[in-house]
Amino acid sequence: DGGITQSPKYLFRKEGQNVTLSCEQNLNHDAMYWYRQDPGQGLRLIYYSQIVNDFQKGDIAEGYSVSREKKESFPLTVTSAQKNPTAFYLCASSVGTGTNTGELFFGEGSRLTVL
């Protein structure tokens, strides 16, 4: 079945450590996104990529980094510079530009807890 796979589902990190969240899709979608979800805050855009080897910062990119070396993969690294990284992280993909751009397909999410 086609879909988006995020791993790990749960992750614990000590302060000062970098951690990478994996996101893989087999939907052949051009665009991929990372959102952060905090209680009462909705979803906030971290980074997005419309095409391989290109990505743009979202509203809260500070302390995060991404790469898009392959169409199906869009890993997110939460660096030690991120002041408050404990959150639920959601990866999504869409067909690309045009009217389908808004129809996102989401993974199951990764919950990161900093100890």
Partner 1 sequence: AQSVTQLDSQVPVFEEAPVELRCNYSSSVSVYLFWYVQYPNQGLQLLLKYLSGSTLVKGINGFEAEFNKSQTSFHLRKPSVHISDTAEYFCAVILNQAGTALIFGKGTTLSVSS
Q: Identify which range of 19-27, 40-48, 62-70, 72-80 contacts partner 1 by CB under 8 A.
A: 40-48
Among candidates 41, 97, 91, 42, which has minimal Cα distance to 64?
Answer: 91
Question: Is there binding between residue 97 and partner 1 (CB under 8 A)?
Answer: yes
Residues contacting 39, CB < 8 A, separation 6+:
none
**C-alpha 13: how far from chain center:** 17
Q: Binding residue for partner 1 (CB under 8 A) from 11, 27, 43, 52?
A: 43
| Residue 84 binding partner 1, by CB under 8 A | no
Q: Does 95 bind partner 1 (CB under 8 A)?
A: no
Q: Which is nearer to partner 1, 16 or 39 (CB)?
A: 39
Give dist(CA 16, CA 114) in Å, integer.
9
Distance CA 80, CA 65 (A): 11
Measured from the CB atom, is 43 or 77 closer to partner 1?
A: 43
Q: What letter does residue 62 receive in the DSSP assignment? A: T
**Which parts of this chain interact with partner 1 (CB under 8 A)?**
4, 33, 35, 40-45, 48, 50, 56, 58, 90, 92, 97-99, 101-104, 106-109, 111
